[in-house]
Amino acid sequence: MEKLSDENTLVPKYLQEYDISEECKELLTTLPSEKGWITKHLYQYQGFWFAPKGLQGALSCQKHFQALDTDILLVTSPKSGTTWLKALSFALINRNKYPNIHSNSNHPLLTTNPHNLVPFWETGLYYNKDFVPDLKTISPPRIFSTHLSYESLPKSVKDSTCKVVYLCRDPKDVFVSFWHFINKLKTKSSETLSLEEAFESFCRGVCPFGPFWEHVLGYWKKSLESSKKVMFLKYEEMKMKPYFYLKEIAKFLECPFSQEEESKGVVDGILNLCSFDKLSNLEVNKTEKVSFNVENKYFFRLGQIGDWKNHLTTEMIEHINSITKQKLANHGLSF
């Protein structure tokens, strides 16, 4: 894999294609590959598609991550509401440490992007070649996040009683959000796919961490099998009933809100602090970058349900809806 030009060093870290470990390089030569969305290629590993650095991070965390029973893992397919879930979970878990959630307080979410408070595995902690982070110093409960499929999670996650919160979203909105995101990441020399090309690729399952439907299904099945292990959430439902779902997440994570907290407005306070309007208007989220070199503002676009109506043709909508129906309806899942 060639070293990229200087301009490409401006590309988000996880999309750079050089500085890959020997183990990963060797594996890449054996995997099916397709044209990438922004990296040159995507590679299929354990049934899902990875950019090279994403795969390296996945291999490293599969090998090295040791789960504690108290860990919390937030999982999403990209563009399903990761930033929101990270903010909510961080504020929820740390509500005794940071009880003051008002605008003039010292709450970390007011000065730090949620991605820097809840680190990704494959594009964050395990991103660097041949580097294993020391996570023992983090005081429990530790919160991590990943886009990995259920099948690809490190073994210790499955063997421990740590909790997994999975958030998914209507694939039409996921696709549109993804499309806008990759366009923002585009550098002068990088070749991106047209909307039509990207749509065709997404529908075939070829996108970073895709296929979307298999990703969702893996966690859905696990949540049915083991509701104490995996909580399954939908972005649309959370947008419509945020108060209810934040309380459900708190119960699942075994830190339910007390009556007193509810009457003091703690639930509403967290929801306001983590709302799209609040987070997207913070100075930090307008001007700074997350640790993996992406502008914070790129994670805040519209934060709405149904923007797909403004982007997809009738044929596209019918096509993607029919895939969703065919792949998920038999399992009692719809969007």
DSSP code per residue over 99-138: ---STTS--GGGTS-HHHHS-BIIIIIT-STT-----TTS
Nearest-approach distance from CB 22 to ligand PAP, in angstroms: 29
Contact 14, 289 (CB under 8 A): no
Nearest-approach distance from CB 3 to ligand PAP, in angstroms: 26
> Which one from 102, 147, 311, 331 is the annotated catalytic residue?
147
Nearest-approach distance from CB 303 to ligand PAP, in angstroms: 3
Q: Which of 64, 74, 57 is nearest to 16 (CA)?
A: 57
Residue 83 amino acid letter: T
Within 10 Å of residue 155's Cβ, how many Cβ atoms?
12
Cβ-Cβ contacts under 8 Å for 81 (sequence gap 6 or more): 167, 169, 235, 238
Q: Which of 175, 214, 222 is nearest to 317 (CA)?
A: 175
For ligand PAP, which is the closer residue by CB, 63 or 102? 102
- Give the span between the Cα atoms of 253 and 297, in whole angstroms: 29
Q: Is 180 designated active site?
A: no
State phi, psi for 49 to the nearest 5 degrees. -100, 135
Nearest-approach distance from CB 78 to ligand PAP, in angstroms: 4
For ligand PAP, which is the closer residue by CB, 158 or 301? 301
For ligand PAP, which is the closer residue by CB, 68 or 284? 284
CA 303 from chain centre, in angstroms, equals 15
For ligand PAP, which is the closer residue by CB, 294 or 333? 294
Tell me the two tokens of residue 234.
């939908």
For ligand PAP, which is the closer residue by CB, 27 or 302? 302
By CB under 6 A, name the binding residues for ligand PAP: 76, 78-84, 87, 173, 177, 180, 274-276, 279, 299-303, 307
8-state DSSP, 18: S
76 bridge partner residues: 167
Nearest-approach distance from CB 155 to ligand PAP, in angstroms: 24
41 bridge partner residues: 35
Return the active site residues: 147
